[in-house]
Structure 1
Amino acid sequence: VLRRIMRRGMRHAHLLGARDPLMHRLVPVLVAEMGGAFPELRRAEASIVEWLKLEETNFRRTLERGLRLLDEETRTLPAGGALPGETAFRLYDTFGFPLDLTQDALRAQGRAVDTAGFEAAMERQRAEARRHWKGSGEASVEALWFDLRERLGGTEFLGYATEEADARVLAIVVDGAEVRRAEAGATIGFVVNQTPFYGESGGQIGDTGRATGEHCRLRVTDTLKKLGDLWVHRAVVEEGTLEVGTALHLEVEGERRAALRRAHTATHLLHAALRRRLGDHVAQKGSLVAPDRLRFDFAQPRPPTAEDIAHVEAEVNFFLRRNEECAVRVMARDEAVEAGAMALFGEKYGDEVRVVTVGRDAGGRTYSMELCGGTHVGRAGDIALFKITGESAVASGVRRIEALTGEAALAHVADEERLLDEAAGLLKVPPGELPQRLRTMLDDRRRMEHELADLRRRLATGGGGTGEAGSRKVGTIAFTGRTIEGLPAKELRSAADALRKEMAEGGVVALVAVNDGKAALVVSVSDTLEGKIDAVALVRAGVAAVGGKGGGGRPDFAQGGGPDGDRADEALAAIEQAISEAVAA
């Protein structure tokens, strides 16, 4: 709703002639007026300004694109005619142009929108989405989880204190249907009364491990948490028969769980480090916690600099070296929020919550404090190493950091060192001298490429000779046509212009460069032939001969290309024929 209100104001600013973002300039006035009642406005003033500026910049692009399409559509309508609902929906669906803005824009023209048609188009899209969802079988499976939860109650999770436990099978699901038993080889989902397996939630993926009974053995491949407290274990029955009521001994894969703990605690430290470096506007927008690997999406209007990323990585590793305790407390939600704990994106919390704290800063304040139901290391040093491997954009105002921890981070660093040593060995320099050696090599390459291009141009123009050497008459017009192997396409124009200037009385130059079996063509025509010879028509004749289509430019210069470089001579012949026909016309 807030965005719609802002966008309406932005559109009116646009109508009044504002061409640059301006709404962010109102923020200081708002803060001065309301900051006393809402102190968070003062704390976040800089980030609010940044976000508003980004929002208006992005919306202006949407607005200009949408208004162009709207203008094109209304030209074909009768005076006062309503805009078809399908068109309004296309503006909304394809360009993100809201219906109310479309209505506002048309109101000034005395037009309306066929809202019934818009709603019908919207409903068709929803129905199609529902059809695909139901067709996938997910709807019936989800209904089954509701039924099981109502009938069996929730699963007791024991995984904070232990990685193995005894349990009893309460339900077995195969291919979306509840069954009483499953034989060896079956892929199943099963529900037990209690489990040490962590079910995927809060970004942390589910545990894997083993389940054994008196007459069966299962490999647990994933664990899901449904409806808040129903744990579903995905598994393969490797031996025997599993039946409802079977007693099982459940064992979590310990090394994998340890790797998940490392990645999850590192995610908390990363979040805190980003907020310290970039500002309190940084907020989690999504995450993935996998064994010794994490992905963290966060609100940030501008790309972090390389220095920002290096600083964040160093700060996280600083806390790992200090090896401070990762403490977990259960407390009332209101008390946790009052203490400054941050909530994770997309999570729902009860009246009691787990609060995970890690480290203290130089001022003695808690470094990281978050509400979290995931599993964590006992001390920060257990993570061993934190290594950022990538930073990118995932949406407007949302950035993503990918990182490794523990053994995966150590392996990554070892691989990078090996590659560095290999590169240094190839260039016969110590690793520390690699950057300077590469800069020197790149400078040498650019110089040689320039010299080679100059040599090719001189070869293409006959070694720099003068006069009309190599040209012939087509009717009354001088024509030079050449095929040049290996001349880059970008060098063709300068070569053609040089050849044309050598023609004392003017004429036509056609060059075909063949690279990797493909042909690039240019045609240059003297000003003296304006109105008689059209370079575009000539180049299209040549392009057709080498299997291409089109070709374009101006009457005095045109270019094109085709896939069949072996027919370069045919292209020149076709151009010469086109000149002959133009002369005879």
Structure 2
Amino acid sequence: MSVDTTLTGTEIRARFLDFYASKGHVKVPSSSLVPHNDPTVLLTTAGMQQMIPYFLGRETAPAARMTSSQKCFRTTDIDKVGNQRTLTFFEMLGNFSVGDYFKREAITFAWEFLTKVVNLPPERLHPTVHPEDDEAPRYWQEIAGYADEAIVRLDENWWGPPGASGPCGPDSEIYYDRGVEYGCGEADCKPGCECERFLEIWNLVFMQFFQDLQGVRTPLPRRNIDTGMGLERLTMVLQGKESVFETDLLRTIIDRFALITNTPYGQNNKSDTSLRVIADHGRALVFLAADGVLPSNEGRGYIFRRILRRAVRHGKLLGLDKPFLAEAANTVIDLMGGYYSELETQRERIIEVLSLEEKKFSQTLDTGLSLLNELLLDLKQKQQTTIPGAEVFRLYDTHGFPVELTQEIASEQGFKIDDAGFEEAMQRQQERSRAGASNTFAQAADDVALTEILKREGTTMFLGYSGLTGSGKVVALVVDGNEVESISAPQQALVILDQTPFYAESGGQIGDHGDIIGPMGIFQVQDTRKPIKGQYVHYGHLTEGHLRVGDAIQATVIENRRADTMRNHSATHLLHKALRDLLGPQVQQRGSLVEPERLRFDFASPRPLTSADLAQIDAQINRWIRADYPVKTTLMPIQEALQTGAMALFGEKYDDTVRVVSMGQSVELCGGTHCATTGQIGSYITIQETSVAAGIRRIEALTGRAAEAYLRQRREVVDRIASTLQVQTDQVESRIEQLVQELAAARRQIVQYQRNEAQAQVQQLVLAAEEIAGVPVVAASVQAPDAKLLRDMGENIRTHLKQGVVVLASDLGERIALQVNIDPALTKRGLHAGKLAGAVGERLGGKGGGRPDAAQGGGKDKTAIQPALELAKAFVRDNLK
């Protein structure tokens, strides 16, 4: 049978998943682009990342055989996106075996799928293996009939862990021969050659080892299979296209924007590059937003912001002056929402996030252009032709102005960029980032030791639902990533017990503090976390004595701290319910922080909350508190829990059996600790409601003792104000309103006085204008309270002078403000207000610039005011034609 070139990307994905389902594999959904419980990587880069806990034995896999189409995002080549092959977002088709089948079956399945299901010609398929792997070549010979010399050995056929450490092993890659016309012409051209002939389409990874932070590999207890095949590349091959961008997975988006911009695709390399950038970045942004990634200046949020800015810049290169990312989002969602249902359900929020960030960056572009033009003007005046690298980096890092755009504009005006200086500034920033990432490396070192402890000792039993104290045994101690037998005061360490009353940070609730008391020492617990599922780790230091592995201990949680935290946690459940009652079921929790001192609750909302909304929410929550509903907890299968209407949180990963917490009408899945009744919360007060991102709002609130302290402090403030104003507390508001009105009236009088004074100065300066080369010129030091009134004075004098020049300087305290106005008729005779302001501003120890007819500037050298004004007169005399 011949290759069916009419297959769509969607149909190819379905054929792959259905094929492996027929081989006993369970179809598992794609995990989020935000890795679950993995601090070593920012984004999901491979289909196997969600499988790592199963490969390492930390968690039980839903099945021994699984298959998926995984959303992936790789950032290493963002600046190369726009060429024919590079993508940031892509789909990885994969099949996985957790301790079930191994090399023979993996190769058999892959060969059958490629040659029987999608009918690729066998003679065009070429496997490669690792030089030290003797098994894989034998299976390729037996299963596919390859001669031994036809199987290429490559040192790079080794798959390493995606983070600092993890599972790894040799792999076998399958290459597709595109034809000699794509080759380099060399006689030894073969898979692995850097030419375009052989395209790697599938990687079969044989997970056999665990690699630690020092690169030492030890055999895994069970051998596993992880394969990954890019859907876009496979689609390109099957559809007979020259690049992934010509497949229906991306060409649909390209064609949409080619139509919008009236830019035919395939006729101009520059515009083609921009269309490819928009197609890839637009698709990537939609999936990032759907998985809860929001623009920011760090981490994955910075990646979001970076590719959005790059997309907007390329849109502008195509002439898209109006926002266009909403159009890109709709095209992507229409194309892919059938399989990735989260795109369709979140369409409005995704569009809102992209549109708001695009609007903000458009403003950034305008600001950056203004700053760049000001910089170029300053360099011209200094007769310099190279933009310092530090300035390019400042525009890029501080103002988000793309380096490519700086390069382009600079080149148009005859400037070069100090590339070495820019790279140096970039390197300094990267060094700062690496220094900040040292904690992540330390975390990875601890995780290696903790993984071994978990395998040996099993999970920790949690006693904290029923009390604040408990006895137990020290099963392990970790110091600086290494297991130790004992610790002495004042050593810092990680303590693992067989059972504990300490709650470990999760679900937004922070970890407990307290003491672990052994027979010869006291360990102060300063935090409790679960870096690995099922394992409670106590972080802190020994305050006295010694603590040894095997010691019997007594653990005690700080009671008030836990009680205050429980009040706030129970209150978040009531808040969630009150918000949904008020705004509708589209409200979704997007994060929370539950501390003893306060609670913070992030939620998706179509609009900000008004003061009336907040008052209504506070009133409702306090009614539920006074009703003193019992807080009930039930364990049940997750599907049964969801069928009862219990709310599950966005992006949270749940076990098969879950805890359902109900209080009144609020029913949620939750593993946290709670009050026994709502009445124990005491009281609830919202103290702030803000925006944290497009479509995401944040409420901060207080309960119990913190709410009482807040109200008491507010009452003390009112009492002090009443005392200062010499009125009763109930008269404070009316007295303040009276004072505000009196202050406004006084300010109006001051402004009017200042305007009258300015007008008097204007009249005097017009009469005293000096004639230079037949043109009236006013160059004077004046009294003006601010730059706005100074601008008004300059324009007023220019109007009275008719065809004249005005240069005004005013001492505003910290700096000297400069205003220059030139009649438009004189700009045709060689005068330019921006250049004049630049020259005078430089004499004042500062700078200046602006339009030909009006400009501003300033400096700090007050002794230079008079010489600067004389310089202005000379400038007019020398430049007037």
Give the TM-score, by structure 1 length: 0.76
- Which of the numbers 419, 423, 428 marks the counterpart of 2:721? 423
Instruction: Say whether residues 1:405 and 2:703 are aligned partners.
Output: yes
Call closer, same or farther: CA 1:353–1:244 in 2, change over 3 Å.
same
Q: Which residue of 2 aligns with 1:232?
A: 537
- Which of the numbers 171, 179, 193 marks the counterpart of 2:498? 193
Q: Which residue of 1 aligns with 2:565?
A: 260
Is the 1:512–1:520 Cα contact (8 Å) retained in structure 2? yes
Offset, 1:129: 8.8
Q: Which residue of 1 aligns with 2:47?
A: none
- Which of the numbers 735, 739, 750 marks the counterpart of 1:452? 750
Q: Which residue of 1 aligns with 2:846?
A: 548
Call closer, same or farther: CA 1:456–1:385 in 2, change over 3 Å.
same
Offset, 1:444: 4.5
Amino acid in structure 2 at the alignment position of 1:561: G
Q: Which residue of 2 aligns with 1:140?
A: 445
Q: In 2, distance between residues paired with 1:214 and 1:131?
A: 38
Tell me how many residue pairs correspond in the alignment.
Answer: 506
Call closer, same or farther: CA 1:132–1:524 in 2, change over 3 Å.
closer
Q: In 2, distance between residues paired with 1:328 and 1:572?
A: 80
- Which of the numbers 669, 692, 711 marks the counterpart of 1:394? 692
Q: In 2, distance between residues paired with 1:395 and 1:497?
A: 42
The RMSD of aligned alpha carbons is: 3.9
Is the 1:461–1:499 Cα contact (8 Å) retained in structure 2? no
- Which of the numbers 477, 482, 490 marks the counterpart of 2:788? 490
Q: Which residue of 2 aligns with 1:582?
A: 879
Offset, 1:206: 1.0
Call closer, same or farther: CA 1:54–1:95 in 2, change over 3 Å.
farther
Structure 1: gaps of 5 or more residues? 27-33, 35-39, 69-89, 97-124, 360-366
Q: How does 1:101-500 map to 2 (within 5 A)?
A: 136-359=441-664, 367-432=665-730, 434-435=732-733, 437-462=735-760, 465=763, 468-500=766-798
Q: In 2, distance between residues paired with 1:217 and 1:291?
A: 24
Call closer, same or farther: CA 1:459–1:9 in 2, change over 3 Å.
farther
Q: In 2, distance between residues paired with 1:56 and 1:293?
A: 31
Is the 2:476–2:497 Cα contact (8 Å) retained in structure 1? yes
Q: In 1, distance between residues paired with 2:776 and 2:565?
A: 76
Offset, 1:414: 1.8
Q: Which has the higher contact order (CA 8 A, sep 6+)?
A: 1
Q: Which residue of 1 aligns with 2:828?
A: 531
Amino acid in structure 2 at the alignment position of 1:259: D
Offset, 1:267: 0.8
Q: In 1, distance between residues paired with 2:360 and 2:748?
A: 43
Measured against aligned partners, the alpha-carbon deviations of 1:88-142 in whole angstroms (never above 9, x if no partner) come to xx9xxx999xxxxxxxxxxxxxxxxxxxxxxxxxxxx9xx999957972322211
Measured against aligned partners, the alpha-carbon deviations of 1:275-331 in whole angstroms (never above 9, x if no partner) come to 111111111221111114111122224323332222222211111121211111222
Is the 2:569–2:599 Cα contact (8 Å) retained in structure 1? yes
Is the 1:517–1:565 Cα contact (8 Å) retained in structure 2? no
Tell me the SS of whatever aligns to 1:276: helix
Bigger mean CA deviation after superposition, 181-190 or 457-466: 457-466
Tell me the SS of whatever aligns to 1:231: strand
Identity, in percent, stands at 34
Q: In 1, distance between residues paired with 2:252 and 2:361?
A: 12
Offset, 1:254: 0.7
Q: In 2, distance between residues paired with 1:24 and 1:278?
A: 25
Q: How does 1:17-56 map to 2 (within 5 A)?
A: 17=260, 50-51=348-349, 54=352
Call closer, same or farther: CA 1:453–1:528 in 2, change over 3 Å.
farther
Q: In 2, distance between residues paired with 1:153 and 1:247?
A: 18
Q: In 1, distance between residues paired with 2:554 and 2:668?
A: 33
Q: Which residue of 2 aligns with 1:561?
A: 858
Is the 1:517–1:564 Cα contact (8 Å) retained in structure 2? no
Q: Which residue of 1 aligns with 2:201?
A: none
Offset, 1:62: 10
Give the TM-score, by structure 2 length: 0.52
Call closer, same or farther: CA 1:431–1:475 in 2, change over 3 Å.
farther
Bigger mean CA deviation after superposition, 570-579 or 238-247: 570-579
Q: In 2, distance between residues paired with 1:279 and 1:168?
A: 49
Measured against aligned partners, the alpha-carbon deviations of 1:56-98 in whole angstroms (never above 9, x if no partner) come to 7459769999x99xxxxxxxxxxxxxxxxxxxxx9xxx999xx
Q: In 2, distance between residues paired with 1:60 and 1:557?
A: 31
Q: Which residue of 2 aligns with 1:511?
A: 808
Bigger mean CA deviation after superposition, 437-446 or 243-252: 437-446
Bigger mean CA deviation after superposition, 198-207 or 462-471: 462-471
Q: In 2, distance between residues paired with 1:480 and 1:539?
A: 14
Offset, 1:399: 1.9
Is the 1:202–1:344 Cα contact (8 Å) retained in structure 2? no
Offset, 1:409: 1.4
Q: Which residue of 2 aligns with 1:37?
A: none
Q: Which residue of 2 aligns with 1:117?
A: none
Q: Which residue of 1 aligns with 2:182?
A: none
Tell me the SS of whatever aligns to 2:544: strand
Q: Which residue of 1 aligns with 2:422?
A: none
Instruction: Say whether residues 1:521 and 2:521 are aligned partners.
Output: no
Q: In 2, distance between residues paired with 1:135 and 1:197?
A: 24
Q: In 1, distance between residues paired with 2:642 and 2:833?
A: 73
Is the 1:217–1:237 Cα contact (8 Å) retained in structure 2? yes
Call closer, same or farther: CA 1:55–1:134 in 2, change over 3 Å.
closer
Tell me the SS of whatever aligns to 1:136: helix
Q: In 2, distance between residues paired with 1:502 and 1:134?
A: 67
Call closer, same or farther: CA 1:436–1:235 in 2, change over 3 Å.
same
Q: In 1, distance between residues paired with 2:796 and 2:692?
A: 48
